[in-house]
Amino acid sequence: MFYIRADGNEKIGMGHVMRCLTIAEALGRLGEEVLFLTADEKPVMLIKERGFSVKVLYVRYDDMEAELPQTAKLLAENREAEKPKILVDSYFITPYYLEQLRMSAKVILMDDEKRAVYPCDGLVNYNIYGKTLEYEKDYPAWTKLFLGCAYMPLREQFRNCNYAVREKAEHVLFTTGGSDSLHIARCMVKRLLQKEKESIQNPVWHIVCGPYHPDTEELERLAAGHVTLQIHKNVTCMSELMQECDIAVSAAGSTFYELCSIGIPTVGFYFVENQRRNMETFAKLTPIKNAGDFSAAPESVLDFVEEEVEVLCREKTLREEISQIMKTIVDGRGADRLAKGLLSVS
């Protein structure tokens, strides 16, 4: 049995659960049985829909130490000849939590930020900046490290995508990731409607609303009757929607890597701290433009987005150049590499 500890809700989005589901599927292909542990019931339906069992701990997702007694008991009850392995994916872990967990299991940590040096048997940072954070310098030799985009756990639908840049750019994808606490999509849609009133020619904008998007109903109302606005709710095959588009505007989360695997010319922005480093590194190492921090300067970010989309719509050669470079970032096989690596942690 391989355990995965992850949460998802309207405040933290579904990114942790989604990437862990992809890892779980890769583990399943290797014959491993996987059990998810969650703080509450909010991500349960999604996990079960993907075919995995879930144990709800009924604790606060942001107070992980409180769950230690029952988590340790669960791990001990299912222990065989050696300690079980557990992958922990949360920004609310503490050194004490991991130390206690390691008494019952081999602990592998999903780490995006390197806020501290944590006690763990394995560590994953698949981000584009993962190899730059000097983990080898700070972690003991017995902590197995999985660093860089080679371990990016993309879903199966992002393998072997055959995308080619089209002559005309007529469709733009817009996504804020799993949540949109700052109502960014709503701000963007209102701008687009104003341009429509001014008789400015627009491509069709495809606005993606995840399960915890706060403005889905309002966005549907605003878009009603406007052919240049399409609202997409709870998209199950994102790769298909992406491949229908010529340009993407995206928050700098895991969606960036999905866009890279296909090669959709992208303009990025960020609105929380854990996206900032990702955005800044992509802007440094790739042609993806950084529109900036929406939480600090919303109007400036949207101005930048509109200007860059207009440039990309005009310049096919530029779109082709960006697409080719983006495709070199990830190859869509990171989940399988990572699953094999996790099982090797001892």
Residues 301-338: tens digit of each pLDDT: 999 999 999 999 999 999 999 999 999 999 889 999 99
pLDDT of residue 13: 79
Task: Take residue 94 and report the two structure tokens written for it.
Answer: 């503490």
- pLDDT value of residue 78: 72
Helix (H) or strand (E) holding 101: helix 95-101
Distance (Å, rounded) from C-alpha 210 to C-alpha 8?
Answer: 12
Query: Tell me, what amino acid is at 223?
Result: A
Q: Where does the pLDDT of residue 89 fall: very low under 50, low under 70, confident under 90, or very high at 90 and above? A: very high
pLDDT at residue 81 greater than cutoff 90? no
DSSP letter (8 states) at residue 84: -
Give mean pLDDT, residues 107-123.
Answer: 96
Q: What is the mean pLDDT of residues 145-153?
A: 97
Question: Has residue 284 got a pLDDT over 90?
Answer: yes
Per-residue confidence band for 178, with pLDDT thresholds at 50, 70 and 90: confident
Rounded average pLDDT over 29-38: 97
Mean pLDDT over 50-69 rounds to 96
pTM score of the predicted model: 0.88
What token pair was written down for 198?
Answer: 């001014």
Number of H helices, E strands in the chain: 13, 13
pLDDT band, very low/low/confident/very high, at 76 (cuts 50, 70, 90):
confident
Distance linking the first and last C-alpha atoms of the chain: 15
Stated length of the chain? 346
| Choice among 23-37, 50-64, 196-210, 223-237 with the minimum mean pLDDT | 196-210
pLDDT of residue 199: 67
100-110 pLDDT, tens digit per residue, is 999 999 999 99
CA distance linking residue 247 with residue 249, whole number of Å: 7
Q: What is the pLDDT of residue 77?
A: 82
Whether residue 259 has pLDDT greater than 70: yes
